[in-house]
Amino acid sequence: MHRFKVLLVDDEEELVMALAERLQLRGIKTSVAYSGEQALHMLHDEDPDVMLLDLKMPGMDGLEVLRRVKKARPPIQVVILTGHGSDQDAESARRLGAFGYLRKPVDINELVLTLDHAYQHKLAEV
């Protein structure tokens, strides 16, 4: 039984696949996108509860994806996961509506807890 659905968005394919496997083992349904553009195209079909989003990607960066997701699908909770972010990026993400901001490498238990809190927040808003 899946608890909720997460769309993982990161251009590091090996990292995304490893995270997807680890989350699925914890009962979280996942789908993956390797670019911001691909993630935006997948929103309708995948209908995720939570998006786990990298900031630094070729093409459209994570802040622009966040901006567009919050405009098009406000209920989706977005958690930033980045290895290159700054305090300024964290503040920008919060202002744009990100639920959380985590740094790579992330502890899987901390990640699962944050995703679960984001999902609970979504349920509370509906």
Domain with residue 85: its CATH number is 3.40.50.2300
126 pLDDT tier (thresholds 50, 70, 90)? confident
Burial of 124 (C-beta count, 10 Å sphere; 0-12/13-18/19+): exposed
Number of structural domains in the chain: 1
Reference 86, options 49, 118, 123, 55; nearest CA is: 55
Whole-prediction pTM? 0.96
Residues 6+ apart with CB under 8 A from 78: 50, 51, 53, 66, 69, 70, 93, 97, 98, 99, 118
User: Residue 111 has what pLDDT?
Assistant: 98
Which residues constitute the domain of residue 22?
Answer: 5-125
Cα 38 from Cα 123, distance rounded (Å):
26
Per residue in 65-78, pLDDT (tens digit) is: 999 999 999 999 99
1 pLDDT tier (thresholds 50, 70, 90)? low
